[in-house]
Amino acid sequence: MTVSKAELRHRCRDIREAMSADEVSAGSRVVCDHLSRWPIFVRANTVLGFVAFRNEVDLSALVERWPQKRWVAPRVVEGAELGSGQKPHLMLHLYIPGHLTRHRFGMLEPLPTLPKIDPSEIDVILVPGVAFDRKGGRLGYGGGFYDRLLPLASQAVWVGVAFEQQVLAAIPMEPWDFRVGWLVTPAGVTQTI
């Protein structure tokens, strides 16, 4: 029996959200430690991260450990901010801890007044997701935001960031879905493609 992406997304979110605060904190620390020792991350100047939401890996320790990097975070652009015929998309802004606002879906984003960063300037993209597989497959939240970002930041190294519970044998992929080149979990950093 084939499981739909929506059902798989729901199951995987439930598994992640069932993790305790201690599990999330401990796993996040280990992921940040792995990234801090990974040469590609160490050499990167500009890093696109994300603000943890609903038991995602918390990258705040990594930001604190590497203040010399230019940190960037995504903001969802939709509604009146969009031009005619445009789909909602991610706008990238300089990330400054504490200079955040809550999106209507509940996640924290950079204030829209913070400097915008062109996707072509990003060296490493730390990609959130509901689930990943060891071949770089990613199951996102269903909005296609990162799939639309990829062509604009193809020079960047794409790294899936997850807990081991989020790594599946295989993710169903569509032709327009992108794959991450690397995956970091508490078990380590591995190349996927």
Answer whether residue 190 shows pLDDT above 50. Answer: yes
Answer whether residue 177 shows pLDDT above 90. Answer: no
Query: What residue numbers bound the domain in which 38 lies?
Result: 5-191
> Mean pLDDT, to the nearest integer, of 75-79?
85
The per-residue pLDDT for 1 is 44
> Mean pLDDT, to the nearest integer, of 101-110?
90
Give the pLDDT band (50/70/90) at residue 5.
confident
The per-residue pLDDT for 188 is 97
The pTM is what? 0.93
Closest C-alpha to 59, from 95, 12, 94, 84: 95
- Compare 79 and 101 and report the one with higher pLDDT: 101
Closest C-alpha to 163, from 18, 37, 36: 18
Question: Is residue 136 a contact partner of residue 169, using CB atoms and an 8 Å limit?
Answer: no
Our count of domains for the chain comes to: 1
Answer whether residue 8 shows pLDDT above 60. Answer: yes
Give the three-state DSSP class for 190: strand
Burial class (CB in 10 A: 0-12, 13-18, 19+), 122: buried
The per-residue pLDDT for 106 is 85
Instruction: For 10-65, write each residue's pLDDT tens digit.
Output: 999 999 999 999 999 999 999 999 999 999 999 999 999 999 999 999 999 999 99
CATH code where residue 140 lies: 3.40.50.10420
Give the three-state DSSP class for 27: helix
> Mean pLDDT, to the nearest integer, of 181-185?
97
The per-residue pLDDT for 148 is 87
- Mean pLDDT, rounded, of the chain: 92
Give the pLDDT band (50/70/90) at residue 2.
low
The per-residue pLDDT for 83 is 67
Give the pLDDT band (50/70/90) at residue 105.
confident
